[in-house]
């Protein structure tokens, strides 16, 4: 189950486990001060246990999907794809938003391509991890 949430503590706990602990992203880079302006999504299993999160920031006609994190125990179960689909539904419901974009870790480009995104631009470093920008026209 994916829901919009104001439970930032749970979202941040998932992001801490995935990005800061697993991937060694510096805390100062993860906590960018933009959570207050974002829409947050939270994935839970049938028992209510939190499994993953994503956030959406909107600038003009573009919605940026970011901070997509799924706990290690839930990877490969479809939770990540469900989060992206839910984020796209949120964006499609917003008047004037015509494009979704994200910064994909390069190892995940195929995952996002299967969901309709196309990579563009050069590879770049974000928090010590190689990324490429990707977009999908809504």
The predicted pLDDT at position 48 comes to 95
DSSP single-letter state for residue 96: T
E strands, 1-138, in order: 2-5, 39-44, 50-59, 62-70, 99-105, 118-126, 129-137
Percent of the chain predicted with pLDDT > 90: 99
The predicted pLDDT at position 130 comes to 96
The predicted pLDDT at position 19 comes to 95
Tokens of residue 126, six digits: 């974000």
- Phi then psi for 25, rounded to 5 degrees? -75, 130
72-92 tens-digit pLDDT: 999 999 999 999 999 999 999
Q: How many degrees, rounded to 5, is the angle at CA 26 between CA 4 and CA 43?
A: 20
95-125 tens-digit pLDDT: 999 999 999 999 999 999 999 999 999 999 9
Tokens of residue 9, six digits: 């503590």
Q: CB of 58 within 8 A of CB of 97?
A: yes
DSSP single-letter state for residue 94: S
- Phi then psi for 119, rounded to 5 degrees? -75, 150
β-bridge mates for residue 40, sequence order = 5, 55
Classify domain 2-137 by CATH number: 3.40.630.30
Q: Which residues contact 17 (CB under 8 A, 6 or more apart)?
A: 69, 71, 72
Name the pTM for this structure.
Answer: 0.95
Q: CB of 130 within 8 A of CB of 137?
A: no
């Amino acid at each position: 189950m994916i829901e919009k949430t104001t439970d930032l503590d749970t979202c941040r706990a998932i992001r801490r486990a995935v990005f800061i602990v697993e991937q060694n992203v510096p805390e100062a880079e993860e906590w960018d001060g933009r959570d207050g302006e974002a829409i947050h999504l939270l994935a839970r299993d049938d028992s209510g246990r939190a499994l993953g999160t994503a956030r959406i920031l909107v600038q003009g006609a573009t919605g940026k999907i970011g901070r997509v994190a799924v706990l290690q125990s839930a990877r490969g179960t479809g939770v990540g794809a469900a989060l992206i689909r839910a984020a796209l539904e949120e964006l499609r419901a917003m008047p004037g938003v015509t494009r979704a974009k994200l910064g994909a870790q390069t190892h995940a480009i195929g995952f996002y391509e299967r969901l309709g995104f196309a990579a563009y631009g050069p590879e770049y470093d974000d928090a010590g991890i190689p990324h490429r920008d990707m977009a999908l026209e809504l």
